[in-house]
Every structure is written in structure tokens, then in C-alpha cells.
Structure 1
Amino acid sequence: MNELIFVIEEAAEGGYIARAIGTSIYTEVDNLANLYDQVRDAVHCHFEEPDRPKLIRLHFVREEIIAA
């Protein structure tokens, strides 16, 4: 696996939720500044060195509501 994709969403109670696609990696952070380190750490804990993806792609999903 060369690349692992995370979907990043804002949590209802604040902060962010990161979920990996295709594997059971999940992490929550309080702020965007900690997101990158937490995602990297979760990937390092889940995969051994030879199987670890070389790239981590973060896909940010944001919901906005506007008046019609």
C-alpha cells in the first residue's frame, strides 16, 4: 500500500474526527494543529514498517448550511 486516505470531519462537540478508508484507523483531536501528528501516530501504531503506507492523504469534509 503506497497511500492511505483519511476523511476528516468536524466533530459536533468541537475538534476533528479522522477515519481511514479501507482500514480500521480512527482518531480524534481537539484542534487542527494536532491533527497531522495524531494521524501519523495512528498509522505508525497500526502498520509495521515494511507494510506502512508511504503517503497519507487527508480529505477534509465540511458541511455548511445556507439560506435558500
Structure 2
Amino acid sequence: MNEILFLVEEAHEGGFLARAMGQSIYTEADDLASLRREIRDAVRCHFDEGAGPKLIRLHFIREEVMAA
């Protein structure tokens, strides 16, 4: 596996949520620096040694609501 993609969203309660596409990996953190550490740790725990991805891609989803 060369790459894994995570969708990152802001949590309603604050902080961030991340979920991997195509894998059962979910994690959350209060800030982006902590989220990056949590994602790396979750990926290492999910895959056997040497079987994990070489790259971790983060795709940020941001929702914005405006009054009409």
C-alpha cells in the first residue's frame, strides 16, 4: 500500500475527527498537531510491520453556513 486517505472534519463539540477511506481507522483530537500524531499512531497500530502506507494524505472538509 502506497497511500492512505483520511477525511478530516471539525467536530461539533470542538476539535477534529478523522476517518480513513477504505479502512476501519477513526481518531479524534483537540488540535491539528495532536490529530496528526493520533493519525500516525492509529495507522501504525492498524497495519502489520511493513504493510502500512508510505504516505498519509489528509483531506480537510469544511462546512460553512451563511444567512441568505
- TM-score w.r.t. the length of structure 2 is 0.94
Flag the structure with higher helix content.
Answer: 1
CA distance in structure 1 between the partners assigned to 2:50 and 2:40 by the alignment: 16
* 1:14 Cα offset (Å): 0.6
Aligned residue pair count: 68
Identity %: 65
1:39 aligned residue = 39
1:58 aligned residue = 58
SS of residue in 1 equivalent to 2:18: strand
Task: Note the aligned Cα RMSD (angstroms).
Answer: 0.8
What is the letter of the counterpart of residue 16 of structure 1?
F
What CA deviation, in whole Å up to 9, does each residue of 1:14-66 have, x standing for no partner?
A: 10000000000000101112111110000000011221100000000000012
- 5+ residue gaps, structure 1: none
- TM-score w.r.t. the length of structure 1 is 0.94
- TM superposition outliers: structure 1 runs of 4+ over 3 Å: none
